[in-house]
């Protein structure tokens, strides 16, 4: 195991006071369970005997409730106890074995680059102070050199371009501890060439098209009734007929199929409807019905599929990690491109949205639900011990809706499952 991998593992064993819960070692738990099963069983509570005949079981009632906004009316965030001293936390997260200047490569992300210098990559805004006079100060490009230097006793990410250190900090008059001065530089290059914070190809489809909508949107959206030759299923290159209200000023559309309703696992509230992207279509002629051409297809378009607008103004680059303004916890309510488990660089839906104060860029810890294990050695007849949740990953929110949000899994040490918990980092 490399030093970086060792530090990533150590990251997830830190205490809650710096944003993490201790791990429950899987192997150790297995040994305990094995030992417990070899001992004679005594009378168990009815709640266990009727449902769980083992010594380890889950109990939802012992867990915190759904996340809530700490101060929804305040203009500024009231910090969680674990977020009070982020600057000190960033100092502590600086890796012992720092690389020299790293040359940015095409395909890198800011998250990955930050991970070379910090054991907690989401803290990079704490060591990359931005100059508010510079638009998009976090943008860096392939060929730039990135290094960590100490400025006035504070760890600071420095970007070097063409042999000069870029003044993203607006500190051109401040000498650094090694005598290097900062040089203001303007980069005249397309934003599309900049290094993104998170992998753009992993989230682009979720920015162009919605994947979770409310039931009313589904019912009111235009729908396919058939194709030019009367078939009920159509492929790329086929013309289809669509009924419903079509915007004649828009030419590009997405075709979707209603999937399943997303339900809050705790309250039973319906959070929205999950829809599957079937194909892309171009408007050929308005009317009742309108005529559209299937331009690209992931699967056959069938009668009853719904037609929704594309979002042409999506942005992939400018995501800045931030501390959530919520406390408590939420749940993962849907996995994309997975049935029961998922992992790094995959998208999940959480049951927290705009109404809970979730914002784009929020970084959340993913935790596997703890349970209860019976202590057979305490001498007490029904002695059960609550097992703490286990941190198994980190996600970053990249799109929010009223009741749910999309999150990209940035790190995972174990498979991520449906209904795993999410909390503030």
Q: Which residue has the tokens 């931005």?
A: 130
Distance CA 387, CA 380 (A): 18
| C-alpha closest to that of 226 among 241, 214, 236 | 241
Residues 257 and 332 in one domain: no
Rounded to the nearest 10°, the torsion over CA 359, 363, 369, 373 is: -130
Residues 386 and 289 in one domain: no
Q: What's the confidence (pLDDT) of residue 321?
A: 87
Residues 100 and 178 in one domain: yes
Which residues, other chains included, contact 229 with Cβ-Cβ below 8 Å and sequence gap of 6+? Answer: 238
pLDDT tens for each residue of the chain, 425 residues long: 444 444 433 333 333 333 333 333 333 333 333 333 433 343 443 333 333 333 333 333 334 456 544 443 433 333 444 444 777 888 888 888 887 789 999 988 889 988 999 998 888 888 775 544 445 556 788 998 888 888 888 888 888 888 777 655 444 444 444 444 433 344 444 556 778 888 877 887 787 776 888 899 999 999 999 988 878 789 999 999 999 999 999 999 999 999 889 999 999 999 999 898 999 999 999 999 999 999 999 999 999 999 998 765 555 556 888 888 887 899 999 998 777 788 888 999 999 999 999 999 999 999 998 889 999 999 998 999 999 989 999 999 999 999 999 999 999 999 999 999 999 88
Residues 158 and 186 in one domain: yes
Distance CA 145, CA 349 (A): 35
Cα distances (Å, whole numbers) of residue 181 to 36, 49, 101, 124, 146: 64, 70, 16, 21, 15
Q: Note whether residue 276 is domain-resident.
A: yes
Q: Note whether residue 202 is domain-resident.
A: no
Residues 91 and 188 in one domain: yes
Q: Which residue has the tokens 């009313």?
A: 216
Distance CA 269, CA 211 (A): 18
Q: Note whether residue 269 is domain-resident.
A: yes
Distance CA 309, CA 209 (A): 8
Residues 168 and 100 in one domain: yes
Q: Which of 309, 336, 356 is the last residue of a domain?
A: 309
Distance CA 210, CA 282 (A): 18
3-class secondary structure per residue, 115-161: HCCECCHHHHHHHCCCCCCCCCCCCCCCCCEEEEEEECCEEEEEEEE
Residues 291 and 246 in one domain: yes
Could you tell me if 375 and 384 are in contact, meaning their C-beta atoms sit under 8 angstroms apart? Answer: yes
Could you tell me if 406 and 203 are in contact, meaning their C-beta atoms sit under 8 angstroms apart? Answer: yes
Residues 412 and 344 in one domain: yes
Residues 178 and 243 in one domain: no
Q: Which of 261, 278, 309 is the last residue of a domain?
A: 309
Q: Note whether residue 159 is domain-resident.
A: yes
User: Cis peptide before 171, with omega less than 30 degrees from 0?
Assistant: no
3-class secondary structure per residue, 387-418: CCCEEEEEEEEEEECCCCEEEEEEEECCCEEC
Q: Which of 287, 309, 331 is the last residue of a domain?
A: 309
pTM score over 0.85: no
Q: What's the confidence (pLDDT) of residue 153?
A: 80
Q: Note whether residue 298 is domain-resident.
A: yes
Distance CA 161, CA 141 (A): 9
Distance CA 393, CA 414 (A): 7
3-state secondary structure at position 33: helix
Q: Note whether residue 354 is domain-resident.
A: yes
Could you give the number of structural domains in the chain? 3
Q: Note whether residue 81 is domain-resident.
A: no
Residues 304 and 215 in one domain: yes
Distance CA 69, CA 189 (A): 39
Residues 179 and 226 in one domain: no
| C-alpha closest to that of 156 among 184, 178, 189, 133 | 178
Q: Note whether residue 417 is domain-resident.
A: yes
Residues 92 and 63 in one domain: no
Burial of 129 (C-beta count, 10 Å sphere; 0-12/13-18/19+): middle
Domain housing 402: 3-74+323-424
């Amino acid at each position: 195991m490399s030093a970086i991998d060792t530090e990533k593992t150590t990251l997830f064993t830190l205490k809650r006071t710096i944003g993490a819960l201790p791990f429950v070692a899987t192997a150790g738990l297995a040994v305990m369970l094995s030992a417990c099963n070899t001992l004679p069983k005594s009378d168990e509570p009815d709640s266990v005997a009727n449902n769980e005949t083992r010594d380890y079981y889950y109990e939802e009632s012992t867990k915190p409730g759904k996340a809530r906004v700490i101060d929804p009316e305040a203009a500024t965030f009231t910090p969680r106890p674990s977020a009070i001293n982020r600057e000190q936390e960033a100092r502590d997260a600086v890796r012992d074995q720092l690389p020299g200047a790293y040359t940015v490569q095409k395909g890198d992300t800011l998250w990955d680059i930050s991970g070379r210098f910090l054991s907690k990559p989401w803290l990079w805004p704490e060591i990359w102070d931005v100059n508010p006079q510079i638009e998009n100060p976090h943008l860096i490009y392939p060929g730039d050199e990135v290094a960590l230097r100490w400025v006035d006793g504070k760890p600071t990410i420095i970007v070097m371009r063409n042999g000069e250190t870029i003044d993203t900090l607006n500190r051109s008059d401040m000498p650094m501890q090694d005598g290097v001065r900062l040089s203001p530089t303007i980069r005249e290059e397309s934003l599309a060439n900049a290094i993104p914070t998170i992998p753009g190809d992993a989230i682009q489809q979720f920015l162009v098209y919605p994947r979770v909508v409310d039931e009313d949107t589904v019912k009111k959206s235009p729908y396919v009734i058939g194709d030019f030759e009367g078939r009920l299923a159509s492929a790329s290159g086929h013309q289809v007929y669509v009924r419903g209200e079509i915007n004649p000023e828009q030419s590009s559309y997405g075709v979707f199929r209603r999937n399943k309703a997303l339900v809050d696992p705790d309250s039973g509230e319906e959070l929205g409807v999950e829809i599957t992207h079937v194909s892309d279509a171009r408007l050929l002629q308005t009317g009742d019905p309108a005529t559209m051409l299937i331009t690209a297809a992931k699967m056959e378009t069938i009668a009853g599929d719904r037609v929704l607008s594309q979002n042409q103004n999506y942005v992939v680059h400018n995501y800045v990690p931030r501390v959530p303004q919520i406390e408590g916890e939420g749940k993962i309510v849907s996995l994309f491109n997975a049935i029961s488990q998922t992992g790094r660089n995959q998208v999940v839906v959480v049951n927290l949205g705009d109404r809970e104060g979730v914002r784009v860029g929020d970084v959340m810890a993913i935790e596997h639900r703890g349970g209860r294990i019976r202590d057979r050695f305490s001498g007490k007849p029904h002695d059960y011990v609550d097992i703490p949740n286990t941190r198994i990953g980190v996600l970053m929110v990249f799109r929010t809706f009223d009741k749910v949000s999309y999150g990209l899994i940035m790190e995972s040490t174990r498979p991520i499952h449906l209904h795993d918990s999410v909390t503030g980092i």
